Amino acid sequence: QQQVKQSPQSLIVQKGGISIINCAYENTAFDYFPWYQQFPGKGPALLIAIRPDVSEKKEGRFTISFNKSAKQFSLHIMDSQPGDSATYFCAASRRNAGGTSYGKLTFGQGTILTVHP
C-alpha cells in the first residue's frame, strides 16, 4: 500500500520559472513532512520540512505548502535554476512508539526535475 503519492513523475521548467511538486498522504498519524533532493550518485539530502501545525514554510527559494484537511502538501521552487535539476522526494513520518525517533520515513516515488537554461 503506497501511503505517499507524488506527482508529477517528471517536470521540465525554464530557468526562472516556478517548479511545483505535489504529494498526498493517507496516514493521518504522520506528523513530519520533509522534502529531499537527490543528485545522481548521491544520497538524498534534506531540503526543507514542515509539521502539520503550520500551513506554509519558506526557506530561500523553497516553500512547502501544507493542507491538513486535504492530506496534501507541495513543494514550490521559485526562480528555478539549472542547478536545481535533480530528483525530489517527498516523505512522511511519525514518532515511534517510544517518542524518540522519526527514523522511519515513507517516501513518495520521486519527481525528476529538469530546468532548462
Partner 1 sequence: KAGVTQTPRYLIKTRGQQVTLSCSPISGHRSVSWYQQTPGQGLQFLFEYFSETQRNKGNFPGRFSGRQFSNSRSEMNVSTLELGDSALYLCASSTGQGGEKLFFGSGTQLSVL
Q: Interface with partner 1 includes 40 (CB under 8 A)?
A: no
Smallest distance, partner 1 to C-beta of residue 15, A: 28
Question: Residue 102 interacts with partner 1 (CB under 8 A)?
Answer: yes
E runs forming strands in 19-69: 19-25, 33-38, 45-50, 56-59, 62-67
Interaction between residue 100 and partner 1 (CB under 8 A) = yes
d(CA 19, CA 11): 8
Cis (ω within 30 of 0) for the bond into 52? no
* 108 near partner 1, rule: CB under 8 A: yes
Q: Which residues bind partner 1 (CB under 8 A)?
A: 32, 34, 36, 41-46, 49, 89, 91, 93, 95-96, 98-110
